[in-house]
């Protein structure tokens, strides 16, 4: 029955369904606390049928996180091309707030879950990108103060966007995250 139902689904949607269920379980139990067996049980399929899409749990995590990282890369590169530290920080702040408001569960997992943070930091390319993101936010204020404010903003945005934390639609959440981030970093809202 399991194999039959997978076979009837177009492979792309079957793959996406695995990713959706995995993200829900990572959110609830953490990445380290979620086995491929738990994902298979939640989907009502055999573990063997998951292997068709993902050979290991880390492949699954990378398939979830990879597209988010590529969006973050575009934000960071666009920001780095700006002319001043505060314009660069403003670009990272607004871009990251939009990303978090549009991908609430995924951003929460990538930022808060220590077992996911471990995987991300073990990838030199991903670790470098996140360093650049923090560096752009921290550069508004030299020294430790800038570093502390940048870390509060990044971790705070991810935690606040996490599912079930605050009740707000995507646009309103995004606006509030940007407003709070500007206050923390000491950025003025750009003229409209």
Give the interface with a copy of itself as residue ranges (CB under 8 A).
26-34, 109, 111-115, 118, 144-145, 147-149, 151-160, 165-168, 172-173, 176-177, 179-181, 183-184, 186
Measured distance CA(86)–CA(141) in Å, rounded: 9
CB of 45 to a copy of itself, least distance (A): 23
Question: 98 or 149, CB closer to a copy of itself?
Answer: 149
Which one, of 148, 147, 174, lies nearest residue 160 by Cα? 174
CB of 71 to a copy of itself, least distance (A): 21
Measured distance CA(127)–CA(120) in Å, rounded: 6
Question: 139 or 158, CB closer to a copy of itself?
Answer: 158
CB of 74 to a copy of itself, least distance (A): 24
Question: 46 or 135, CB closer to a copy of itself?
Answer: 135
């Amino acid at each position: 029955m399991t194999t039959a139902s997978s076979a009837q689904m177009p492979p792309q949607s079957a793959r996406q369904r695995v990713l959706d269920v995995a993200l829900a379980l990572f959110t609830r139990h953490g990445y380290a606390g979620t086995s491929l067996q738990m994902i298979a049980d939640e989907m009502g399929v055999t573990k063997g049928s998951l292997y068709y899409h993902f050979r290991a749990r880390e492949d699954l995590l990378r398939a979830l996180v990879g597209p988010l990282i590529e969006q973050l890369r575009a934000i960071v590169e666009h920001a780095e091309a700006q002319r001043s530290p505060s314009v660069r920080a403003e670009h990272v702040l607004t871009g990251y707030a939009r990303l978090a408001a549009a991908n609430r569960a995924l951003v929460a997992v990538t930022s808060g879950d220590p077992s996911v943070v471990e995987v991300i930091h073990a990838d030199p390319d991903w670790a470098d990108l996140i360093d650049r993101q923090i560096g752009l936010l921290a550069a508004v204020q030299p020294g430790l103060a800038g570093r502390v404010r940048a870390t509060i903003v990044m971790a705070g945005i991810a935690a606040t966007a996490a599912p079930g934390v605050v009740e707000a639609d995507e646009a309103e959440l995004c606006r509030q995250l940007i407003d709070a981030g500007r206050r923390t970093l000491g950025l003025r809202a750009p003229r409209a």
